[in-house]
Structure 1
Amino acid sequence: MPDFRQVRRRCALLLPVVLLLLGAAPGPDRPVVDTDRGPVRGVGHGAYDTFEGIPFAAPPTGPLRWRLPEPVRRWEGVRDAGAAGPRCVQLPVVGTGGPTGSEDCLYLNVTAPAGRAAAGRPRPVMVWFHGGGFFSGAGDAYRPDRAAVQGGAVVVTVNYRLGVFGLFGHPELGGAPDFALADQRAALRWVRANAERFGADPHHVTVFGESAGALSVCAHLTSPASAGLFHRAIVQSGSCSTTAPPRALLPGLGTYEPFVPERQTVADGALAAARLGCDRPGGVLDCLRRLDPAALATAELMQRFSLVSYGNDVLPLEPRRALEAGRFHRVPVIQGATRDEMRLFLAQTLAAYPIPDEGAYRARLAQSFDAPTARAVEASYPVSAFATPAVAWATVLTDASFVCPTLRDGAALGRHVPVYAYRFSDRGAPDFTGLPEPPDLPYGAAHGFELPYLFTVVPLTEPQRRLADRMTGYWTAFARTGVPAAPGAPPWPRDRNGSAVLSLAPGAGGIRTVDARAEHHCALWDARWPGVTRTR
């Protein structure tokens, strides 16, 4: 089957040439907006317009590799914005293969309602940071037309440097500057400068993201460097306290912590440079910058440098500690998780590390927790209460790693700002991943499975489309007013302690308030697994 997305991009690239040959002037199907760096020509889609591949910073190549993003030069003439720019260098998420993408990748995409905004009612802006573990993904993988058409929002999706290109540290860099976050801040500054040109309000900017994108939002919430760049935040499946127990998925894995001390990243960078033959004092960075991107984009280096550093000017404190101390930007927050987050991750390891019976389940408990905690967890999650031992273990990991840490963060945030908590609960959500589903571990409402309800990804059933309409209404109303109150949708109460979480599922009564702390045994996890065990 042809890749119609690629076909559309190629057609978009050819269209300016065809128009020129025919002597046609740009029409409603090729809208032009004059940005602060020059005009761009987008593509009209009837009810909405897209402007893709707009550079928001200079290409971080050659001597600009591992430097903070610099302004892009102004261009002459009208720049075609009918196709996405190159994706950042990355490796395939699944399977083998070499790196794809380019270091010249700092591009963003704008989706806006067609026509002018009503007088005196500029549109809100929603800036999307994609997921992918900080080593894969791209902004153009997400089509936000539903938010633009139904929600009247201008949505910006952003590329940012990944892996070793985005989160490298070294003594000659003076630490680990978190270039990925710096790229995102550069995109937010672009939004501030250009929102009005797309009919949007630069004073109503919402940052939202899922997985690594949610961790990015958490970082901006707690980063002094991001002050004033946004006014609301949505955190989807990646809270400031997200962590996974040691040996949760494979025997050789330690505790997963997305935020690590800067000194750890710097030490890893010095070791990596020496292994690459770049260890001459004073010339390490020059040596590394001369290397071909393929020499750096190895599986080991892309994974090693996929953790965000704190203990620097960008993140003075570990983000979860910053929340506890009240040191974060005072903006309203939506945050939540899916009901079965960890099933997707566990499913990819079961063939190598199966959980065939109750004995294997107990062995997993003993390997990941101390003895008293293992006993307490088994009492709350007896294998007999689940369809299979694998489902039992995935439920343990989901509650310990995602749901309860998210609610814990919500309590810290809620002492200072409005917080609205959700749980995506549609266990019939479509699987858009293409990854094999083990017979003993159905995906259910797994990590990322809410995305087709906010972006145009795969077809939905009629009940699911109605849920998507409600979710889009909540998200865009929040972007507009700071309150997720959509016409015709059930009320979404503020959450203060995890007892008022909006469960999102299709069908009659599918959207309802639940006591998530009780349903997910969060008292147990708050007492037994508050979060962090250093293993590296």
Structure 2
Amino acid sequence: MALTTIGLLGLLAGPANAAHGVVVRTDRGPVEGAVTGEVRTFQGIPFAAPPVGALRWRPPRPAAPWRDPLDATKPKAICAQLPGLGPGASEAEDCLYLNVTTPKRVHRPLPVMVWFHGGAFTSGAASQYDPVRLVTQGDVIVVTVAYRLGPLGYLATPGLTAEAGNQSGNYGLQDQIAGLRWVQSNAAAFGGNPGNVTIFGESAGAASACDMIVSPLTTGLFHRAIGQSFSCAGDTLTSEVAHGSGTQFAAKLGCADTACLRGKPVKDLLAAWPGGAPVVGGRELPSQPPDAIRQDKFQHVPLLWGSNLDEARLFVGLFYDGVGKPVTAAQYEQITRDRFGPVADQVLAKYPVGDHSSPSVALATWQTDTPSEFLSTCGHLNSYKSFTARPFAVPVYAYQFTDRTAPAIVDWPGFDEGAAHAFELNYTWRQFFGKPMTPSQESLSRTMVRYWTTFAHTGNPNARGLPEWRRYSSDSDVQELGLAAVAPKNPAIESNCAFWAGLRP
């Protein structure tokens, strides 16, 4: 198996030829960064106190002030996580740091783009992402923010909820909001405009952006939002589900109270964690995101949002082809019947295995289409409709990334990954890894960077020299981002959204 993982991004140390001596004073103390080429970088800036010891499973506290310039030329430890598709294993709890990249010369207050990484709320790192393309081509400042992951970021138990007087399980979301507050206090010192902040994220980072859009605690902290490959149309965890899972987690560790849990080594917590996500019901998320949007309880900011043509191929590859067990025709039928029960025949008739290059691709196709999946095409279209419904409509610019020849983040011989989940990341960040881009792909990358950064400047991705991007008012207003076309398309047709809308169990 040829496997190139997201953990091989190679961005965990500053360039050897970086010039030191660039000092900026933050509200907690001065930081010394570096100049490399046309950018200034400041890495490993603490935006909160280390959430260790008694601060484990508590909201982030302010970082202690310092007097002498802090060395900000290298990133700090990544938040605790298991090895896998992330940047590597870590047991670090002291991880609440962010990174700032600016143009070498800033002549006016610039838009600030604040990035929240993906990784299913269990993996990833702010320091994985090198924003040199965005900064130099788009004349913006980029801040990448770390947040607690896995059990340290999303554990909810009745005991922790009672202790806090607020719904537990949202420590990672609290960290993200603390990062936005840091930006408001410090953006100007780096040449940024705190009145023009765009949040953006991919996968779990886009899910986090959905949560920040509907959180009453983020008012005034950002002014635009970009989401890549996660729909705001689905519910997050309820208190009951999260408490039940958290109670089982504690029992697995032999703990009956929070004191016992706080005494457990990080490695034991990671090994026992079943997975989790932000939890609805507290101050951060009083109601489910789709309900909040329908009830006009969300931040009215312009949105640039989209998904990839073959989202689910990444996960089918991970669970089947990537472990040497491609889906068979019989398995495909059984999985479909298990998933859809009495209406499975309709799905199998709509997605016959013979119409696809393999049973694995057939499975990934309906998984990408069906609106019950967070990453699905039809789910994204439903989300756009919610945000543009009158009388609470906000500007939405929707896209679908369609380059099926994109450099593969994960490459399995014999499996066609296509335009899978996360494969668009190479087009906005410095290329992570994989084969070098072709001239056509480099051209698409420049177009996407200009769309993203123009949107950060103005709330509208359109600019002179770019193909027109229509504001979303119907499914035919989705901008295709591909090698064959950068133009409007209607993904609802090829994803059979009318079929899915009419499917009844």
Match 2:333 to one of 356, 362, 384? 362
Question: Retained in 2: the 8 A contact 1:500–1:516?
Answer: no
**C-alpha offsets along residues 52-86 of structure 1, whole Å, 9 cap, x if unaligned?**
00000000000000000000011111111000011
Question: Retained in 2: the 8 A contact 1:86–1:101?
Answer: no
Aligned residue number for residue 394 of structure 2:
417
- Aligned-pair CA distance for 1:385: 2.3
- Aligned-pair CA distance for 1:286: 2.0
Query: Structure 1 residues 259-268 or 132-141, which shifts more?
Result: 259-268
Question: Retained in 1: the 8 A contact 2:24–2:189?
Answer: yes
Q: Describe the SS at the equivalent of 1:310.
A: coil
Percentage identity across paired residues of the two chains: 42
Cα 1:148/1:391, change in 2 over 3 Å: same
Match 2:51 to one of 48, 51, 60? 60
Match 1:228 to one of 205, 220, 233? 220
- Aligned-pair CA distance for 1:414: 1.2
1:34-113 aligned within 5 A: 34-93=25-84, 99-113=89-103
Aligned residue number for residue 164 of structure 2:
none
Cα distance in structure 1, aligned partners of 2:12 and 2:454: 34
Question: Retained in 1: the 8 A contact 2:134–2:428?
Answer: yes
* Runs of 4 or more above 6 Å deviation: none
Match 1:32 to one of 23, 41, 46? 23
Which ranges of structure 1 fall in alignment gaps of 5 or more residues?
16-27, 243-256, 531-536
Aligned residue number for residue 120 of structure 2:
133
Aligned residue number for residue 168 of structure 1:
155
Cα 1:430/1:224, change in 2 over 3 Å: same
Match 1:397 to one of 345, 351, 367? 367
Aligned amino acid, residue 49 of structure 1: R
- Aligned-pair CA distance for 1:316: 1.7
Aligned amino acid, residue 191 of structure 2: G
**C-alpha offsets along residues 431-489 of structure 1, whole Å, 9 cap, x if unaligned?**
133xx5152x3101000000000101233211111111000000001011000113311
Cα distance in structure 2, aligned partners of 1:462 and 1:513: 23
Match 1:520 to one of 479, 482, 495? 495
Alignment pair present for 1:261 and 2:253: no
Query: Structure 1 residues 216-225 or 314-323, which shifts more?
Result: 314-323
Cα distance in structure 2, aligned partners of 1:403 and 1:529: 19
- Aligned-pair CA distance for 1:391: 1.3
Q: Describe the SS at the equivalent of 1:111.
A: strand
- Aligned-pair CA distance for 1:403: 0.8
Alignment pair present for 1:199 and 2:191: yes
Q: Describe the SS at the equivalent of 2:193.
A: strand
Aligned amino acid, residue 285 of structure 1: T
Q: Describe the SS at the equivalent of 1:369.
A: helix
Question: Retained in 2: the 8 A contact 1:99–1:297?
Answer: no
Aligned amino acid, residue 297 of structure 1: L
Aligned residue number for residue 448 of structure 2:
471
Cα distance in structure 1, aligned partners of 2:477 and 2:12: 46
Question: Retained in 2: the 8 A contact 1:454–1:468?
Answer: yes
Aligned residue number for residue 203 of structure 2:
211
Aligned residue number for residue 445 of structure 1:
419
Aligned residue number for residue 20 of structure 1:
none
Aligned amino acid, residue 388 of structure 1: S
Aligned residue number for residue 406 of structure 2:
429
Cα 1:333/1:529, change in 2 over 3 Å: farther
Alignment pair present for 1:155 and 2:130: no
- Aligned-pair CA distance for 1:8: 4.5
Aligned residue number for residue 463 of structure 2:
486
**C-alpha offsets along residues 36-65 of structure 1, whole Å, 9 cap, x if unaligned?**
111111110121111000000000000000
Question: Retained in 2: the 8 A contact 1:429–1:445?
Answer: yes
Aligned amino acid, residue 367 of structure 1: D
The count of residues paired between Structure 1 and Structure 2 equals 481
Cα distance in structure 2, aligned partners of 1:72 and 1:261: 31
Aligned residue number for residue 4 of structure 2:
none
Question: Retained in 1: the 8 A contact 2:99–2:144?
Answer: yes
- Aligned-pair CA distance for 1:116: 2.4
Aligned amino acid, residue 105 of structure 1: C
Cα distance in structure 1, aligned partners of 2:150 and 2:93: 12
Question: Retained in 2: the 8 A contact 1:130–1:213?
Answer: yes
- Aligned-pair CA distance for 1:500: 0.8
Q: Describe the SS at the equivalent of 2:197.
A: strand
- Aligned-pair CA distance for 1:517: 1.3
Cα 1:94/1:54, change in 2 over 3 Å: closer
Aligned amino acid, residue 389 of structure 1: P
Question: Retained in 1: the 8 A contact 2:11–2:130?
Answer: no
Cα distance in structure 1, aligned partners of 2:42 and 2:293: 36
Question: Retained in 1: the 8 A contact 2:47–2:178?
Answer: yes
Q: Describe the SS at the equivalent of 2:21.
A: coil
Q: Describe the SS at the equivalent of 1:109.
A: strand
**C-alpha offsets along residues 201-224 of structure 1, whole Å, 9 cap, x if unaligned?**
101100000000010001111111
Cα distance in structure 2, aligned partners of 1:292 and 1:365: 41
**C-alpha offsets along residues 258-307 of structure 1, whole Å, 9 cap, x if unaligned?**
x110122122222322332321xxxx222221222122121x41x33x22
Question: Retained in 2: the 8 A contact 1:151–1:472?
Answer: yes
Alignment pair present for 1:289 and 2:276: no
Question: Retained in 1: the 8 A contact 2:409–2:422?
Answer: no
Alignment pair present for 1:380 and 2:350: yes
Cα distance in structure 2, aligned partners of 1:4 and 1:130: 13
Question: Retained in 2: the 8 A contact 1:421–1:498?
Answer: no
Question: Retained in 2: the 8 A contact 1:88–1:138?
Answer: yes
- Aligned-pair CA distance for 1:6: 7.2
1:504-519 aligned within 5 A: 504-506=481-483, 509-519=484-494
TM-score computed with the length of structure 2 as normaliser = 0.90
Aligned amino acid, residue 296 of structure 1: L
Cα distance in structure 2, aligned partners of 1:262 and 1:278: 20
- Aligned-pair CA distance for 1:389: 2.1
Cα distance in structure 1, aligned partners of 2:413 and 2:377: 23
- Aligned-pair CA distance for 1:4: 10
**C-alpha offsets along residues 111-130 of structure 1, whole Å, 9 cap, x if unaligned?**
11111223xxx210000000
Aligned residue number for residue 174 of structure 2:
182
1:230-245 aligned within 5 A: 230-241=222-233
Q: Describe the SS at the equivalent of 1:132.
A: coil
Cα distance in structure 2, aligned partners of 1:241 and 1:354: 31
Cα 1:88/1:414, change in 2 over 3 Å: same
- Aligned-pair CA distance for 1:98: 9.6
